[in-house]
Amino acid sequence: MRPVVDAAALWLHTAYTPANTKTTHANAPSSHHNVRALPAATAFFPWCAAAGLNPLTDMTRDALRAWVTTQTAAGVSKSTQKARLGAVSAWYREMRSRGLTSFEVPAALPQTERRNLGVLKPAPKNPTVPLTLAQVRALRTAAALYPRRGSTPARYRVIIAMLSTTGIRAEELCTLDRGDIHRAGPDGQPAAWILGKGGEGRWVRITPLALEAIEAYLAERDTEQNSGVLAVLGQVSAKPAEQPLLITSRGRRLQPQEITRALRTLARWLLRHATGSRNSTLRAHAAALRPVADTLHPHSIRHFYAITAETHGIPISNISADLGPTPPSPPPRSTSNKAAASPAPPHPSSPTSSPPAKNSPCYHAFSDRPFVERRRSWRRRRFSGSAWSSGRR
């Protein structure tokens, strides 16, 4: 049993490190206050030891069902049981990749049986509500007008641009390094190498809007850090390729929960900034964000991307390739973001198709010109040829 425990401990500290608070505290060397000296008897390894089972060679469907039943009889909550079963399933997946076992938890406990045992993840009580086009436009405006505090506003613009024009997950955006952004991808267009769920990688085309935001952010960040390192040919930035693309003000890699916090910060700031403003467009943006200011989530933008692509006639298969394959699927062999390269009607994030018509509902949402510049152009047209332009008052 000792070799099994050692293998599990090594895996926990080297491979299984999702970005959540429990794992962060459990893996931190100085955070042992969250770890009990002796695990509960109903935990998986202690239960296997008490039953005389080697988890790698002796585990069966009946034994796994007996473990779940034992937890229920001991009064272990269903949420704890679901968390334990998920960790055990991940551990078996890793052990299978090492050739140490052939046991599979999903095959042993199918979805129907997990539902009967009460350990199936229930449907969310608050399903994800996709953002509207007006709300995405409002977030872009907030990022463009946010007061300058170092490179923070530029980082906000990168977050909004990447999420809304690629449909990637917040976790995928946080795992990007500088070297993952390329001005010329496999098809010669700007692209990013995305490491998705299950460790599956894919190329995702990025738009000129997103690339411009990334370059501006990295330039500001490098200026703050007084860097004089030369850029690597074909890559964006003048820093080592292994450095995180998005970092906090303290130089730490940005985490998914901080992206959620950034979205809500932008929305709340816009609400305060629009209060008492005489700018009707700014007030309209604030009105669009007011219902969701406290519940904004990156996944809502991901849903917005999928719905927008479908509205523009992009095939479902292309949208699925944009959003990333599920872990069992093979990695794509070419650049993703097929919605941008599809011969169907142009998607608003498409860098290669002709830009949407100016009367298109998506034109201003993905326009490269910020809101302030559009207002200036409107003023120039408004007063062209009038007494204001001829000098008469």
pLDDT of residue 282: 92
Say which amino acid occupies 371: F
- Which range among 182-196, 276-290, 313-327 shows the weakest confidence by mean pLDDT? 313-327
Pull the structure tokens for residue 318: 């292309």
- Which range among 109-123, 258-272, 284-298 shows the weakest confidence by mean pLDDT? 109-123
Model confidence over 33-74: pLDDT tens digits?
Answer: 444 455 688 889 889 988 999 999 999 999 999 999 999 999
Element (H, E) at 202: strand 201-205
pLDDT > 90 in the chain, percent: 37
pLDDT of residue 386: 34
* Structural Rg of the chain based on CA atoms: 25
What is the average pLDDT value for the chain, to the nearest integer?
75
Own/partner long-range contacts of 34-41 (Cβ < 8 Å, ≥24 apart): 40/76, 41/74
- Which range among 127-136, 183-192, 230-239 shows the weakest confidence by mean pLDDT? 230-239
Distance CA 144, CA 85 (A): 45
What is residue 235's three-state secondary structure? strand
Return phi, psi of residue 173, to 5°: -65, -40
Model confidence over 356-373: pLDDT tens digits?
Answer: 333 333 333 444 444 334
Return phi, psi of residue 235, to 5°: -115, 155
pLDDT of residue 36: 47
Say which amino acid occupies 246: L
Return phi, psi of residue 22, to 5°: -60, -45
Pull the structure tokens for residue 61: 């469907």
Please write down the HEC assignment for all residues of 12-28.
HHHCCCCCCHHHHHHHC
